[in-house]
Amino acid sequence: MNIEIGSIAYYLPENIESGLELKRDNVDWNIDKIEEKTGIKTRYISNDGQTALDMSVIAANFLFQNKVNPKDIDFLIFVTQSPEYILPTTACLLQDKLGLSKSCIAFDVNLGCSGFVYALSMAVAYIKSGFSENVLIVCADTYSKYIDKNDRTNRPIFSDAGSATVLSKSTDSTIGPFEFGTDGSGSEKLIVKDGSSRAGYLCKNTFPSLHMDGASVFMFTMSTVPESVNKLLDNYGINKEKINMYIFHQASKVVLSNLQRSLKIPNNKMYTNINISTINKAMPAALKKK
């Protein structure tokens, strides 16, 4: 059975944060060096009262305005690490707000960078198995609410946003194969400790705080991602030269540059949407904003 991505929509908060705001709150920061290293010059920041659920509703409604009928959706996957509540499941709230059928399957996936790919694989599996026909994947997070204004590691790179994607049966398109792996041994390197069970549901500050050991996360990325890419291609007999475009998680300039170097990817086959001079900013036609 062939499967295709039928439509994609997204929502970006109205508040745009630049290096000027970073410098205002942190006079000792060298903004030029930070932007040179990360390739990120602006961030989209949700309003104080705006949640991942709020952004999800907007993104999904944009999708429904583009020839997607909410009545056709029979499976909803909501990917977030910024849930509305500890319970109930945010996907259930989203189902109700979007007016999806009460017979619709709905659940949350608590994943960050890898969340969309995991959801994509589940959507493909459900459609292929015959359990679903039209799957709505919604991804949204408000990471900025976990980050202190003086956090030099996280504040320059994290934004807030929501996206909505519909997958359906197709006559000529396909999605996959996939390559996954899990290593929870580095959990302390990227974590929000406060506000849940282990911390007794308490926060040291007025909000849970995101901690990231940037160097450790980078080293893990460089030791894992190239290996996973090569394994995927080898296992399914795909010639690297036949790949038209590589689209990685847009972590930072230093990550993308090193992935390109490690995998020996030509400039015209490496997609990026950040400010990175060594990589061609070519965008596949299917991804261009209309």
- Per-residue pLDDT, averaged over 249-268, amounts to 96
pLDDT in tens, 170-217: 888 889 999 999 999 999 999 999 999 999 998 877 789 999 999 999
In the chain, the domains with their CATH numbers are 2-170 (3.40.47.10), 213-287 (3.40.47.10)
Query: What distances in angstroms separate CA 118 from CA 78, 137, 278, one per listed residue?
Result: 11, 10, 30
The pLDDT of residue 173 is: 82
Q: What pTM was estimated for this model as a whole?
A: 0.92
The pLDDT of residue 77 is: 98
The pLDDT of residue 50 is: 98
Separation CA 113–CA 180 (nearest Å): 13
pLDDT in tens, 233-256: 999 999 999 999 999 999 999 999
Assess contact for 151 and 96: CB atoms under 8 A. no
In the three-class reduction of DSSP (H, G, I as helix; E, B as strand; rest coil), residue 205 is classed as coil
Comparison of pLDDT for 1 and 185, the residue scoring more:
185
Which sign, positive or negative, has the C-alpha torsion 102, 107, 112, 114? Answer: negative
- SS3 of the chain: helix, strand, coil, percent, to 5: 40, 20, 45
- Per-residue pLDDT, averaged over 14-31, amounts to 97
